[in-house]
Amino acid sequence: MFTVRPNDAILGATIEGLDTAGPIDAGDFARLLLALGRHGVLRFPDQHLDDPALRGFAERFGAIQGSVAKEAAAGRAVPEVGVLSNIRQGGQLIGFPDAGQDWHTDMSYRDLMGFVNVLYGVRIPRRDGRALGGTEFANMHAAYDALPEALRARLADATVTHDFNQYWENARRAGSTRPPLTPEQRRARPPAVHPLFLTHPITGRKVLYCNPGYAERINELPEAESAEMLAFLFAHQLRPEFRWTHVWTENDLLVWDHLGTIHRAIADYRADEPRLIRRCQVLATRVFDPDFLAPLHAAQHAM
């Protein structure tokens, strides 16, 4: 029986007493999902996971998305596990050095959106004893709740177009050395449309589902009004009271809910301060399925 210890913050809880490399029965997994919906980000300290174990744990949440940059997975025994790192071997970077440094929600640009990210901290940069390279989150349940009532009513049925290429090009403009997407890569990641306000499948509450990285247009508004409204929503969702930063420790396993949060990686470390994180990006292939949610309702009643 593990313990859920909520942070004294707008987001986050630590799960104590669970080995994520071992078997987790359906009842315990349902409790984890409930905690994830409620707290948005779950930290499992002191975990010991090789790539197959990391993939196995991540797959409990749904199917894992591969990288659009096929060379990123080339030669790896477990291609579903991505590598985020500024470390070089033989002059070559071993992973993506600058992934996720703008506010975003992974896979909001896909018809089948993202559900969770599962990240395992292997090497964490430190300066003067202080951990760097944290991951910052903002709470989209709270952001929705704090919107003016009239705006929630007016945009109740609005939809938003999300585009992968927008994020990619913004990163290039900000100095990333990543090459432009090839026509083939752009075809593999066409824009997707989602409701602006989504009902969260675990909490049953509304969330603000848009993010500065990928959201490019509110489809029901004229272009200029859409741009103005998105600028307002982006500023609103990043209000300081909705935000919380995870400070990494080696062997942390971190799972976060993409439907109820947005996030960014904090680039406050240098190229010679090594950071190595292993990542699985999990799609919402299961979380909207009533069969997947049934044990969760049972766990809720038992609590």
Q: Is 122 in the site for ligand SIN (CB under 6 A)?
A: no
Sites for ligand SIN among residues 125-144 (CB under 6 A): 135
User: Among 117, 166, 211, 237, which residue sits at the site for ligand SIN (rule: CB under 6 A)?
Assistant: 117
Q: Give the Å distances, CA to CA, from 64 to 17, 109, 112, 158.
A: 26, 15, 12, 29
Q: Which is nearer to ligand SIN, 28 or 98 (CB)?
A: 98
**Closest CA relative to residue 244, chosen from 267, 262, 257:** 262
Q: Is 253 in the site for ligand SIN (CB under 6 A)?
A: no
Tokens 């859409």 belong to which residue? 226
Q: Is 279 in the site for ligand SIN (CB under 6 A)?
A: yes
Contacts with ligand SIN: how many residues (CB under 6 A)? 10
Q: Give the Å distances, CA to CA, from 38 to 24, 32, 34, 75, 140.
A: 20, 10, 6, 38, 11
Q: Which is nearer to ligand SIN, 43 or 263 (CB)?
A: 263
Contacts with ligand SIN, 46-85, as mask; x by CB under 6 A: --------------------------------------x-
Q: Which stretch binds ligand SIN (CB under 6 A): 35-43, 98-106, 148-156, 237-245?
A: 98-106
Phi, psi at residue 168, to the nearest 5°? -60, -45
- 86 close to 274: Cβ distance less than 8 angstroms: yes
At 11, the amino acid letter reads L
Return residues touching ligand SIN (CB under 6 A).
84, 99-100, 106, 117, 135, 263, 265, 277, 279
